[in-house]
Amino acid sequence: MKAQDKRQKRRTAADRQAKAQARLLGGKSPAIQPGMQGGQYQPLTDNDLKKIHEAALTILEHTGIGNPLTELLDIVLPLGAELNRHGRLCFPRSLVEDIISGAAREYTVFARGSRAGKDDIHCDGNRVYFSNSGSAVTTLDSSNLKYRPSTMLDMYDFTRLVDQLDNIHMSGDTVIGTDVPDDFEHDMTMVYALMAGTEKPLCLSFRKRENIPPALKIFDLASGGDGTFMKKPSVIFGGCPIVSPLRFGRENLEVMMDATRLGLVSDIAVAPQSGATAPATLAGILAQVVAETLSCLMIVNLIRPGCPVTFATWPFVTDLRTGSFTGGSGEQALLAAAAIQVGNYYGLPNSVGAGMTDSKIPDAQYGYEKGLTIALAALSGANRVCEVGGMMGSLMGCSFESMVIDNEAVGMIQRTIRGIEISDDTLAVDTIHQCAIDPGHFLGSEQTLSVMESEYVYPKIMDRGPADQWEAEGALDLFERSKKVSREILSTHYPNYFSPLADQLIRSKFPIRLTPEDMHPECNRWRT
């Protein structure tokens, strides 16, 4: 063999080794991308969808929604809504169908800073994105496997962890800062923690409508100055304006109304529980949750026609033996997929909760419950699959290690969304012919090398090596490996995406319950 050929082979081998090492180190995979088209899984027939729609219209027209605010009635009654004899707000079916036909079909949540234009989220059609959220009141301490009350510092830590996880496309209030009981201090510190911790698009929930105007000032400071936020909003407002069955919840309804007046996206979550706050039949809970969600769509569009709103039907399942919410059941996976199919039937931007395992630690139950619920939600074509990152214990707890595991699992699920491309090139008839004759395998084939990055997703912490290698590396399980990765990020990545001047202004005007010292590697909070 010529010396030049030998050098070329050495370089080729070195290149392959370098690429293999890069895959092990993580980073974005070229095999997947945010916003790929879902919709492959459809548990409902066209006739099923029509029946659910008709049932929802009947509920809205005759039963209506209880506890309407006078402020709301003053707006919607002159526009065609009605009060029935029970004092419940009802919507004639013709009005509902008119609103559905004229409602916004899409919206964009913009990324900020260096992510602007690259990591924006475009919710329309069957595009699928993944978001962490959940408002967990406890956080798992992996050193002793005990849950402790979540803090505002946890909110910052979870956000900056998500900032480094490529497959979680949107961040939110994953936990509640139980150490900040005052509503105003909590909401302002929450806004600060999320916007300091990442430039990814955000979804957050306010406790009171009065907290929106001051938060807008922080949004502006994060976006570049006065008036900049509204030009490209990087935040949507979450909340539960419906208290099932079929009643309004005052505080969240007020937030939704004010967000609508501003022209901002309301990311509602309507979450009745089967057999508790909704019928025990799966069809019945679908009929009710669709009616409840449509009522929010009605209010938004009667206040501001065409204002975007997320059609967020989040039917939850109850274990009827105990009355407890169960987030990881087969019924939950099925209901979530069906709810998304209804949203796509209407052609509306939608979301659903998934990955809400009932397990308390990342064990086998955790794995199959998360895998089932997230995969079906994604394959149904949910624009935003929420709650996926780190949530455990039926949404009561969150874990840094779980967030890392879920990020990797979501990458694999995204690959299933992409599907299989069938073409003359991918069918590879010529390559099969050549390799079958000589050398009798495909390992060194030009095609194999050319598609190994674009066709396959390579996990970072999932173990695919031989047993002797696993033993030599300490025989670590998935939880231990995820703990190592999460600590690597949390001990080094301390972003503050506010400029020094903006940070100073915010701290001078608002009660921010995070200290600069806690947002710096020298705090040694995560040193191992």
HEC string of 172-204?
ECCECCCCCCCHHHHHHHHHHHHHHHCCCCEEE
Find, among 341, 419, 351, 428, the residue nearest to 385 by Cα: 351
**Calpha distance 416→378 (Å, rounded):** 9
CA distances from 509 to 156, 177, 223, 502, 519 (A): 20, 20, 17, 11, 19
243, containing H or E segment: strand 242-243
Instruction: Answer yes or no: are the C-beta atoms of 60 and 294 closer than 8 Å.
Output: yes
Q: What is the CA radius of gyration of the chain?
A: 25
What's this model's pTM, rounded to 2 decimal places?
A: 0.93
Q: Could you count the other beta carbons within 10 Å of the beta carbon of residue 27? A: 11
Burial of 75 (0-12, 13-18, 19+ CB in 10 A): middle
**The 3-state secondary structure of 11-67, one letter per residue:** HHHHHHHHHHHHHHCCCCCCCCCCCEECCCCCCCCHHHHHHHHHHHHHHHHHHCEEC
pLDDT of residue 3: 46
Instruction: Answer yes or no: are the C-beta atoms of 483 and 142 closer than 8 Å.
Output: yes
128, containing H or E segment: strand 127-130
Biggest CA pair distance of the chain: 94
Token couple for 438: 């000589």
Instruction: Answer yes or no: are the C-beta atoms of 89 and 65 closer than 8 Å.
Output: yes
Instruction: Answer yes or no: are the C-beta atoms of 124 and 136 closer than 8 Å.
Output: no
CATH superfamily of 106-418: Trimethylamine methyltransferase-like (3.20.20.480)
**Calpha distance 167→349 (Å, rounded):** 20
Token couple for 6: 């030998």
- For 345-397, what is each residue's pLDDT tens digit? 999 999 999 999 999 999 999 999 999 999 999 999 999 999 999 999 999 99
**Calpha distance 462→468 (Å, rounded):** 16
Q: Could you count the other beta carbons within 10 Å of the beta carbon of residue 175? A: 27
**Calpha distance 197→31 (Å, rounded):** 27
Pairing type for strands 146-149 and 89-90 reads: unpaired
**Calpha distance 519→511 (Å, rounded):** 16
**Cβ within 8 Å of residue 518, ≥6 positions away:** 153, 156, 525
Q: Which residue has the tokens 């994953």?
A: 174
Token couple for 244: 């099932």
CA angle (390 as vertex; 235, 162 as ends), nearest 5: 45
Q: Which residues of the chain have pLDDT under 70?
A: 1-27, 528
pLDDT of residue 10: 45
- For 262-305, what is each residue's pLDDT tens digit? 999 999 999 999 999 999 999 999 999 999 999 999 999 999 99
DSSP state of 211: G
Instruction: Answer yes or no: are the C-beta atoms of 213 and 174 closer than 8 Å.
Output: no
Find, among 234, 198, 203, 188, the residue nearest to 493 by Cα: 198
